[in-house]
Chains A and B, each alone.
Chain A
Amino acid sequence: MASSETGGAQLRPGLWETVNERYPGSMITKSEIVPLARLDKPLSEARVAFVSSSGVQPKGTLPFDVTHPVGDYTFRRVPSGSSPDDLEIHQLKYPTDGALRDLNVIFPITRLQELVAEGTLGGLTDNFYTFIGYNMDPGLFESTVAEDIAAAVEEEAADIVLAAPA
């Protein structure tokens, strides 16, 4: 694995071990390596999708079930032309104090729109995709949310997927 060494240390060391001890079997580890895919066009012509486990969703859509003990295995489409004022978060599993003031700290929709407007990015897919990160069954998550979002992103002809946890 290639890794750069500058920058700050992880604020909470040993997080993978801690969570896996508390919720055995919930943490994913992989042995297979996904090969690098290359972009065959400049970034300024690329179509970008954003996928996030923040649970950000359009106002008025069904809230994620953040209290279910096994998790919520659904996802939401977030129109990429949305304003942060069109969106909301129902979350218990991560601090939302920053996001409630500026959604871009967890869901940088405004920043991505600006990058398109100034020509740095070619465009955005019609929708971004969100789910919640609290899922205790990795196999079920992979066969539902992950595969469904992958299919949706492919259907939207994304050249690049920017994915971020919460």
Chain B
Amino acid sequence: MARDVTEAVKPPRAVFVPFRMGHHFGTPFHVELQRRIIMAAFGLIDDAIESPTIMNLDVTWARARREGKEIEAAAAETDS
């Protein structure tokens, strides 16, 4: 959420997501995105070659929100 804060703290490895506060793992019920963020972080265990490493996840908040809404709409359709 706050790349500049992450850069100041200098964690050994970090995944940056350009998301709203309170939504660091994505949008509600967007299981695939939540998993992707977690696995991107675990991927840095081997992929990071120097400390600190900050990886930008290739996703925007607009896309995450749009996909989240589509997922919820599809779920609502299934339930009705």
Q: Which residues of A contact B (CB under 8 A)?
A: 1-17, 19, 27-30, 32-39, 43, 54, 94-99, 101-102, 104-106, 108, 111-112, 114-115, 120, 160, 162-166
Interface 0/1 of B50-76, CB less than 8 Å to A: 111111111111100000000000000
B residues near A115, Cβ cutoff 8 Å = 35, 38
Q: Which residues of B contact A (CB under 8 A)?
A: 1-5, 7-13, 16-29, 31, 34-35, 38-39, 41-42, 45-46, 48-62
Report the nearest B residue to A34, measured CB to CB.
Answer: B12
* In-complex Cβ contact of A160 among B17, B42, B55 (8 A): B42
> In the bound complex, what is the Cα–Cα distance between A96 and B23 (angstroms)?
8
B residues near A2, Cβ cutoff 8 Å = 48-50, 52-54
> In the bound complex, what is the Cα–Cα distance between A101 and B31 (angstroms)?
13
Report the nearest A residue to B7, measured CB to CB.
Answer: A1
* In-complex Cβ contact of A13 among B4, B20, B53 (8 A): B4
